[in-house]
Structure 1
Amino acid sequence: MARVGLTTERLVRAGAELADEIGFEQATPAELARRFGVRTASLYSHVSSAHELRTRIALLALEELADQVAAAIAGRAGKDALIAFANVYRDYALAHPGRFAATKYPLDPETAAASAGVRHARMTRAILRGYDLPEPQQTHAVRLLGSVFSGYVGLEAAGGFSHSAPDPQESWTEILGALDALLRTWPGAS
């Protein structure tokens, strides 16, 4: 077979594109090899296993998403920052469903600590500082926001809102307003 200029970065990017097309769990070295027209063994000098490929796709997705969130929330505070943050997550999830699924891939503690996941947590906490939430309420709020964003975009991407009114965008806007109101009046906050 002809050489196709494989590199780890090229494989990971192609794997991320593949994940968006056919699903994160289906993004395997064997499927990538088919796409590149090479033997699966040819990939193993760049990625040692399906687990490594998925880990690298997850790291790429976390980095892309963190960069987009950082750009969106720069110079914003309070409700404006919350809305910008949430909209980036939703837009990314709808545009890149496989990559968004990859952001939830379990990473070992060392890899997770060195990933852009840390940036996500810092940015979420930075938004919450605008609501003056102390610990442990801040941790609870981080978990709430993650659950709402992930749950909503998961249901929306699966078509869960496509057969009823109002439009999902209208519900999204209402939900973000409700989250802002909740964060401003969080129980136990000073």
Structure 2
Amino acid sequence: MTPRAGLDTDAVVATAAGLADAHGLDAVSLTRLARELGVRPPSLYAHVAGLPDLRARLAARGAAELADALRSAAAGRARGDALHAVAAAYRRYALAHPGTYQALQRAPDLEGGQAGAALVDVVLAVLRGYGLRGHRAIHGARAVRAALHGFVLLETREGFGLPLTVEESYRRLVAILDRGLSAA
């Protein structure tokens, strides 16, 4: 195989994201990624230190993309409007990028990273609109994440079997969060 011209770390991670989103995170291996890129597996080590490093980079990419999506959704909005917009953007991202989203959830050190911090900062900014700061804001952020992630997880695993619209259930979940945060 001839090395692919222009191959860099960003291209490697972007291709891994595409594979993860199309086939699931567990389907991403260095061998499969190399085949997709038209290179031999050892060439990937010029860009990533191995599969754990690739997954960490994939998670960081996902955190940055999700933070950008949430930041854009929240722009110019406050309280319930911001929360509903952020929740909708969160769900859209998770459904459109299931493998990358899964990598983001599995990253053990993401909270300490710059991309993870940007993601948390967006949520904390929304919660400041509710007057939540310090420990109260952290508890609020955990509640929001648990609710949104739990819903998305159930949705992607076809956990909602009743003949009601999932969109309406999600809207109501966010409305409940809004009321709870308003009372916190």
So what's the TM-score if we normalise by structure 1?
0.90
Alpha-carbon deviation of 1:164? 1.2
Alpha-carbon deviation of 1:135? 3.6
Are the counterparts in 2 of residues 90 and 153 from structure 1 also a CA contact under 8 Å?
yes
> Within 5 A, what are the aligned runs for 1:3-152?
3-5=3-5, 6-108=7-109, 112-152=111-151
Which residue of structure 1 aligns with residue 159 of structure 2? 160
Are the counterparts in 1 of residues 15 and 37 from structure 2 also a CA contact under 8 Å?
no
Alpha-carbon deviation of 1:78? 0.5
Are the counterparts in 2 of residues 14 and 32 from structure 1 also a CA contact under 8 Å?
yes
Which has the larger helix fraction? 2
SS of 1:33 mapped into structure 2: helix
Alpha-carbon deviation of 1:86? 0.6
Alpha-carbon deviation of 1:136? 2.5
Are the counterparts in 2 of residues 23 and 97 from structure 1 also a CA contact under 8 Å?
yes
- 2:114 and 2:30 map into 1 onto residues whose CA distance is 22
CA RMSD of aligned residues (A): 1.5
Alpha-carbon deviation of 1:106? 2.4
Report the number of matched residues: 183
Q: Deviations over 1:130-178 (max 9, x none)?
A: 11124422221111101001110011011111x3121100101111111
- 2:124 and 2:183 map into 1 onto residues whose CA distance is 17
Q: Give % identity.
A: 38
- Structure 2 stretches lacking a partner, 5+ long: none
Which residue of structure 2 aligns with residue 177 of structure 1? 175
SS of 1:136 mapped into structure 2: helix
Q: Which amino acid aligns with 2:136?
A: Q
So what's the TM-score if we normalise by structure 2?
0.93
